[in-house]
Chains A and B, each alone.
Chain A
Amino acid sequence: MDDIKWLQGKGKPGIKSFFQDILTRGLIDTVLMPAKNKKGNSYAWFLMNKDGFLETSDPIPPVMTIQGANILKNITKKGESWSKTAVVLRPCELRAVIELTKLEQINLENIILISFDCPGAYPLTQYISGDQTSLDQKYDSSLYTASFETERNACIMCDKFTGQGADIQLCFLGQSDDGFLISAASAKGKELLKDVNGTNEENLEIKTKKRDELLGQLQKEKNEKRQVILDRFKETIYGTDNLLNVFSACINCHNCRRACPICFCSECYFESKALYSEADNQLNRATRKNALRMPSDLLLFHLGRMNHMSISCVSCGACEDACPENIPVSLLFSLVSRDTQAVFNYDPGHSLEEPLPFVVYKNEELKEYEAHYTKRHQSACNCNTK
């Protein structure tokens, strides 16, 4: 097997030393991954070369501060990377990177995407306001057993928690904590993996099998859980009353869209002049609706945003982490996107080759969304002008 290797190394330090190793040996020039912030009470993204590799870096941090796809977009939006750069991403960040690449916001030239079996993350506020040392410990000890429990909605129901689609995948599931599997899925990945010193070659098959078994079972469980959670959630938000109740504390701050990797527009429609209107017009609206909530167009923003991007929503939860009012934004967007994605049989972030639904069109499709002409209407003749 030339596309999978076993690497010895205990726990997180073991995983970290892999990156240290490929940097020092020049297999990559630069790495982009999270590390502890200055005070050590949160994480941040760092671009590091071999002389700048941080002791506190952590490829699998217990919290998602900024969606990684947004960071990679910052760097490569205007062109390709200057050096061979490995980028370590959570699976949902990876999927967002794939979507943004298709949307031409990210350039993957010279980039090696590395992802991993993700245990999930803590909700951002919970982590920041908690005791980080004990939270870290609890998190790190669950890496190999998939036993991490969280209150982060996106993670509770995440059924795409492996690095599928990355050039390199780090696999911990079902392994003992003294090492992990590295598998390469692309030419870029294989090229890198070939120079990585693996050990224990003879046990590889057993180890892989162990992971596959656990993975199969987990994926099934999590997928069922996802459907149940979304179905239940749907009942609570269904219909005008319920839906607007969900937004009763929403302050229309648009932070969800600024945190969302898929909402990449630098000029969002919902903040544009298109929604300016004259005072009298607004007073008319207030009269018509019996009052106008201000700042206005709150529901339009959420529904419109769903319309713009739910097809590519990767259920990463960044929106919910950034919401100051704890609105279940990612649940809502995951619920809606489950259906919009099904309309086009589209799986966002799955593959670069799968075209975005809004750029390919077919003559024969989606007839069920048309209102078919069946009958000549009785009132509609020129003798009846009612």
Chain B
Amino acid sequence: MEKIYDSQMNVHDFIKAMFEKNIVSGLGALTQLPDNKGISYSLLSDGFDFQKCMPFYPVMPANAAIAVSKLTRETSPSSPIAVFLRPCELRALIELTKIKQARLDNLILISFDCSGVFPFKDGKYPTEDTLKRYDQSIKEAKINDTIRQVCKGCENYQPEGADIAISIIGRGVHESLALSFATEKGKSIQEKMGLTASEIQPSTIEQLTSDKKRNKQELFKNTQISNLDELLDVFDTCIACRACSYVCPICYCKNCYFDSQTFQYYPENYAQRLNKKNTLRLPLDRIFFHMGRLSHMGSSCVACGMCSDVCPVDIPVSEMFKAGGQNIQGVFNYQPGQNLDEPMPLVTYQEKELHEMED
């Protein structure tokens, strides 16, 4: 366990200090839009009014790993940029880095123990009251009851691999920041900022973790699919809009296979299929898309919940992908986003493996 230090600063002062000490020249964080009309992830540079940053604000308009990937996929920045990421966003970024869709050079990864986010649907932000209750649940290390399903059952709510990790749970968002520095990069920042004194004790979170585990098991039970019929039922209202894959950080492909020529058929193909079945539901490959997507990215699914948020017909996509993803990850004993050096299961092959999958 890394040591935790009391920074004696709130998050805004901390951000300002990083700029003042020339540790960073840019920052990515959830930020208020002008006139407080909403919240979005933003890239900020020196001179910005950092009071408007709200890194812990409990909505996820986009998985921030996508923003960071778009920022760094061409080149790394030539001077350091710090990015705030929730643990699941951080894991997604690690996965994206493994597949060369993002670069970590000159990035400072800041994460925090996450109490989950509210579903962001119909453009509705949480109310004052909701936010108050949310803050309370952070202080008490409890699960808020209106956050997303996947968040309620998220066991990986503590950041792994961040350069700077902030401990909020059990303390609250308005306390001075409790920081730990796990990496070389982190440690050098610690030194530059002079944050080596006033160690503090970690909060007790055993109860929280076991509650989350229980929620997860319940969620898996509720979304378990045991046959084709159930699968068809879950996706019965799906309009094949692909929003789920577009907002998925792991579905990075610019040209999705399922939108490719392979699936653009000639009229004759329709004729043949219709002849066999007499009734064809269109578009074809609707269910196949979901299964195929799961097989493409399931081993890296970080269960961030974005896909459920955006589905216009409210299909619990992420709940199912979380379960499906964990099955695949279990087979390969792979933990997505945990470690940059852990090779992805579908890019490493071994001769002596998976014999139990053969017939």
Contacts and interface: CB of A to CB of B under 8 A. Distances in A.
**A adjacent to B, CB under 8 Å:** yes
B310 A65 contact: no
Interface in A64-79: 65-66, 70-71, 74-79
A224 interface: no
Nearest to B49: A290
B71 A279 contact: yes
Contacts of B75: 278-280
A245 B38 CA distance: 9
B215 interface: no
Given A255-B312, A282-B71, A294-B70, A47 B274 contact: yes
Contacts of A252: 62
Interface in B235-268: 236-237, 239-243, 246-247, 254-255, 259, 264-268
Contacts of B129: none
A271 B251 CA distance: 14
B221 interface: no
A42 B236 contact: yes
Nearest to B72: A279
B274 to A, nearest CB: 6
Interface in B203-250: 232-233, 236-237, 239-243, 246-247
B271 interface: yes
Given A125-B312, A251-B120, A294-B62, A282 B43 contact: yes
A98 interface: no
Interface string B30-45: 0101110110111111
Contact of A253 (B34, B243, B278, B283): B243
B270 A39 contact: no
Interface in A286-313: 286-287, 290-296
Contact of B77 (A39, A283, A293): A283
A125 B71 contact: no
Contacts of A253: 62, 243, 246-247, 310
Contacts of A79: 266-268
A258 B314 CA distance: 17
Interface stretch (A169-177, A316-324, A337-345, A374-382): A316-324
B246 A255 contact: yes
Contacts, number: 217
Contacts of A267: 255
Interface in A229-272: 244-245, 248-249, 251-255, 258-259, 266-267, 271-272
Contacts of A287: 45-47
B74 interface: yes
B66 interface: yes
A323 B123 CA distance: 10
Nearest to A326: B122
A324 B309 contact: yes
Contact of B33 (A248, A295, A325): A248
Contacts of B233: 38-39
A271 B66 CA distance: 13
B48 interface: yes
A80 interface: yes
A182 to B, nearest CB: 25
Interface residues of A, number: 75
Contacts of B281: 44-46
Contacts of A294: 28, 40-43, 62, 64, 67, 70-71
Interface string B9-43: 00000000000000001101001011101101111
Contacts of B64: 294
A277 B72 CA distance: 9
A118 interface: no
Contact of B78 (A42, A280, A286): A280
Interface in A158-175: none
A123 B42 CA distance: 32
Contact of A325 (B46, B121, B266): B121
A48 B309 contact: no
A276 interface: yes
A81 B311 CA distance: 32
A362 B201 CA distance: 77
A321 B239 CA distance: 11
A219 interface: no
B279 A46 contact: yes
A301 to B, nearest CB: 13
Interface string B128-153: 00000000000000000000000000
B278 to A, nearest CB: 3
Contact of A249 (B38, B43, B44, B280): B38
Interface in B308-325: 309-314
A228 to B, nearest CB: 25
B202 interface: no
Interface string B289-317: 00000000000000000000111111000
Contacts of A325: 120-123
B43 A286 contact: yes
A141 to B, nearest CB: 24
A24 interface: no
B279 A47 contact: yes
Nearest to A267: B255
B237 A128 contact: yes
Contact of B246 (A45, A83, A254): A254
A181 to B, nearest CB: 29
Contact of A279 (B76, B120, B239): B76
A108 B77 CA distance: 52
A52 B74 contact: no
A154 interface: no
B73 interface: yes
A17 interface: no
27 contacts: A45-B283, A48-B280, A52-B274, A52-B277, A78-B266, A78-B267, A82-B271, A124-B312, A125-B312, A129-B314, A251-B61, A251-B310, A253-B246, A255-B242, A255-B243, A258-B241, A282-B43, A283-B77, A286-B43, A291-B31, A291-B42, A292-B43, A294-B67, A322-B312, A324-B243, A324-B309, A325-B121
Give the top 7 A-B pairs by smallest Cβ distance, nearest first. A52-B278, A249-B123, A52-B279, A248-B38, A294-B67, A279-B77, A248-B37
Given A44-B282, A82-B268, A279-B74, 10 more contacts: A37-B236, A255-B312, A272-B254, A280-B77, A283-B26, A286-B45, A290-B48, A295-B67, A323-B312, A326-B123
